[in-house]
C-alpha cells in the first residue's frame, strides 16, 4: 500500500520558517518525481516546487529564492524548506509522487502564516 505522509506544518509569523517533510512508503521512492503543491479554499491547487529523480528542481515564481525542495532517497523522504514566509503562503500543502501513469498524493498539512 502506497502512503505519503506530510508533516511539519503549523502556525508561524510572517518572516518565519517551516520545514515540511513527505515520508513515503510502498514505492521505490528514488524512481519517482516529487512535487509539493498547495491549495487555498476556493482556489485551484498550484504547484509550489518539484524535484526530479535526478534532483533537478523547479519552483513557482512566487516562492523562488524563499523555498527549497530536496529529497533523501535513502530515507524515502522529501522536504520543503520554507523561509521568509508570507501571509499569502497560507494553504494546505500536499506532496505528490509521480512516475509514468502512477500518481500518489498525501493528505496534506496546514501552513498558516500570520501577519
pLDDT single digits (tens) 74-108: 999 999 999 999 999 999 999 999 999 999 999 99
The long-range contacts involving 53-61, CB below 8 angstroms and separated by at least 24 positions, are: none
Rounded-to-integer distance, Cα 68 and Cα 27, Å: 23
Residues linked to residue 23 through DSSP beta bridges, in sequence order: 5, 77
Rounded-to-integer distance, Cα 90 and Cα 107, Å: 16
pLDDT digit string, tens, across residues 102-113: 999 999 999 999
pLDDT digit string, tens, across residues 62-71: 999 999 999 9
CB atoms within 10 A of CB 54: 6
* The three cell numbers locating residue 68: 527549497
Amino acid at each position: 500500500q502506497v502512503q505519503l505522509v506530510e508533516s511539519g506544518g503549523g502556525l508561524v509569523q510572517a518572516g518565519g520558517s517551516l520545514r515540511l517533510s513527505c515520508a513515503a512508503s510502498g514505492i521505490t521512492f528514488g524512481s519517482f518525481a516529487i512535487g509539493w503543491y498547495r491549495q487555498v479554499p476556493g482556489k485551484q491547487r498550484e504547484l509550489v516546487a518539484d524535484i526530479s529523480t535526478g534532483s533537478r528542481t523547479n519552483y513557482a515564481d512566487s516562492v523562488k529564492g524563499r523555498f527549497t525542495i530536496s529529497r533523501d532517497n535513502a530515507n524515502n523522504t522529501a522536504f520543503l524548506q520554507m523561509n521568509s514566509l508570507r501571509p499569502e503562503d497560507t494553504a494546505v500543502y500536499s506532496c505528490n509522487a509521480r512516475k509514468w501513469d502512477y500518481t500518489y498524493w498525501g493528505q496534506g498539512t496546514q501552513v498558516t502564516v500570520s501577519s
